Amino acid sequence: MRRREFIAGLGGAVAWPLAARAQAGMPVIGRLSLSTPEEGAKYLPAFRKGLSETGYVEGRNVAVEYRWANNDAGRLPELAAELVRRRVAVITTGGVQAALAAQAETKTIPVVFLVGVNPSQTGLVAGLNRPGGNITGFTALSNETLPKRLGLLHELVPRSTHFGALVDPGADRQSLEAAAAVIGRPIDMVEADSAREIETAFAQLVQKGADALLVGAGVIFLNRRVQITSLALYHRLPAIYFDRSFPEAGGLMSYGTDLLGMNHQVGIYTGRILKGEKPSDLPVQQPTKFEFVINLQTARLLRIEVPQTLLAFADEVIE
């Protein structure tokens, strides 16, 4: 058995004792994610910190059951159903697919999501200020930052004539096309939602003549960031990403929200709901902070001179 499968299995193995403790008075939180245990672990301290600020400490007065889909979206409905059958007190979700899976399984258990899209456009909530129903949460508004990201990429490589975009199947194509029209460049979009499809997508973009790349938001891309940044460097494609973990892994630059901070806020909302607040009374929160990160080492490898205007705008420059 592979290590990843063992970790996932271990999560299920410890679920029954946690549920038994919850019956004795300890509430149980269900945490549903498209991600892997290894990838999801880096966000857990921020989530737990938010919980602790509302008076809940995992293992002391609240239990958490983890369900990881290991990048297989087809497993999400089954995992969501497991959490509903366990009668957890709250479900937290990472990614729009996980949020939709939880929403489809329960109309009574509170759900707190973290998604990259506008949740009112996907049917998750009735509105941002008044979400309605049993679900609320946080949006990174990754689609809304598409024009900004594409503009930054154009400023870095103004001589690029043909942009490419690596997107997931749920991407907002219209927003991306509109952003490309503003800078007057054609853009080819290629979808991928697995490691194999990512390899194929890069080959297609290169064949189409793309000479600069935007990587759309998506949990699968976040989990495969080493593969993606390596392929971008191999094909000598200057690229911009949606999260700082990409330039930290060798990508060129990123512009997006602070995902650790948002996971912290998810923990706070979860604790407030455990204390009795209703999801319908908690507005969906939008990001207030965006980070721009440049990796100068990668720029040198690509023989790109970063303009001083971009260096001055950056929140962090990786030397």
Domains and CATH numbers, the chain: 3-141+258-281 (3.40.50.2300), 143-257+290-318 (3.40.50.2300)
pLDDT value at position 12?
A: 41
Q: What six digits make up the tokens of 23?
A: 């019956």
**Would you say 257 and 287 are in contact if contact means Cβ atoms under 8 Å apart?**
yes
Starting at the edge strand found earlier in the chain, the sheet holding 316-318 runs 187-191, 163-167, 212-215, 239-241, 253-257, 290-295, 316-318
What distance lies between CA 261 and its chain's CA centroid?
12
| Out of 135-144, 240-249, 275-284, 291-300, least confident range | 135-144
pTM (predicted TM-score): 0.84
Contact 113, 53 (CB under 8 A): no
Mean pLDDT on 255-274: 96
Residue among 245, 205, 249, 211 nearest 227 (CA)? 249
Q: Which of 239, 286, 278 is nearest to 258 (CA)?
A: 286
**Higher per-residue pLDDT: 153 or 177:** 153
Supply the mean pLDDT for the chain: 89
What local confidence, expressed as pLDDT, does residue 8 receive?
40
Q: Region 88-97: what's the mean pLDDT? A: 94
Tens digits of per-residue pLDDT, 25-73? 799 999 999 999 999 999 999 999 999 999 999 999 999 999 999 988 8
